[in-house]
Amino acid sequence: MAWIEVGPGDVTASRFAVSPLIEVTSALGVLAGRTEVGPLEPWVRRARPAFRGLMDDPSVRALAYLRRRGGYMADFVTPPPERVHITLDEQLAQVRATPLGLARHELAQNRAGLAAPDPGVRAVLDSPEVVALFAHALARAYAALIAPDWPTIRTIFERDVLYRAGRLAVYGWAEALAGLSPRVHWHPSETGGLIELSGLDGPRVTLNGAGLLFQPSVFAGLGYSTEPPWRNTLSYRARGVAVLWSRHAPPNDGLPKLIGRTRAEVLRALDEPTTTTRLSALLTMSLGNVGDHLAVLRDCGLVARDRYGRAVLYRRTELGDALLNSEVPP
The residue extents of the domains of the chain are 2-16+158-238, 20-150, 250-325
The per-residue pLDDT for 246 is 55
Residues 6+ apart with CB under 8 A from 16: 84, 161, 164, 165, 213, 214, 215, 216
Helices (H), 145-196: 150-171, 173-177
Write the DSSP string, 196-247: EETT-----EE-TTS--EEEEESS--SEEE-STTS-SEEEEEPTTHHHHHGG
| Average pLDDT over all residues of the chain | 89
pLDDT surpasses 60 at 247: no
The per-residue pLDDT for 188 is 95
Contact 63, 134 (CB under 8 A): yes
Predicted TM-score (pTM) of this structure: 0.78
The per-residue pLDDT for 257 is 80
Least confident interval from 47-56, 135-144, 252-261, 277-286: 252-261
Q: Where residue 280 falls among pLDDT bands split at 50, 70, 90?
A: confident
pLDDT surpasses 80 at 328: no
pLDDT surpasses 90 at 146: yes
The per-residue pLDDT for 14 is 95
Question: pLDDT tens for residues 189-220?
Answer: 988 999 999 988 878 899 999 999 999 999 99
Question: pLDDT tens for residues 59-75?
Answer: 999 999 999 877 788 99
Q: Across residues 118-125, what is the average pLDDT? A: 97
The per-residue pLDDT for 243 is 62
The per-residue pLDDT for 250 is 46
User: How would you class 60 by CB atoms within 10 Å of its CB: exposed for 0-12, middle for 13-18, buried for 19 or more?
Assistant: buried
According to CATH, what is the number of the domain 250-325? 1.10.10.10
Choose between 39 and 210: higher pLDDT: 210
The per-residue pLDDT for 329 is 43
The per-residue pLDDT for 50 is 96
pLDDT surpasses 70 at 122: yes
pLDDT surpasses 70 at 37: yes
d(CA 18, CA 87): 10
Q: Across residues 125-131, what is the average pLDDT? A: 97
Q: Across residues 321-326, what is the average pLDDT? A: 74
pLDDT more than 90, % of the chain: 57
Least confident interval from 29-43, 117-131, 251-265: 251-265
Q: Where residue 252 falls among pLDDT bands split at 50, 70, 90?
A: very low
pLDDT surpasses 50 at 181: yes
Question: pLDDT tens for residues 283-308?
Answer: 888 999 999 999 999 999 999 998 87
Dihedral sign of CA atoms 37, 113, 77, 6 in order: positive
Q: Where residue 128 falls among pLDDT bands split at 50, 70, 90?
A: very high
Question: Pairing between strand 193-197 and 2-6?
Answer: antiparallel
Q: Where residue 244 falls among pLDDT bands split at 50, 70, 90?
A: low
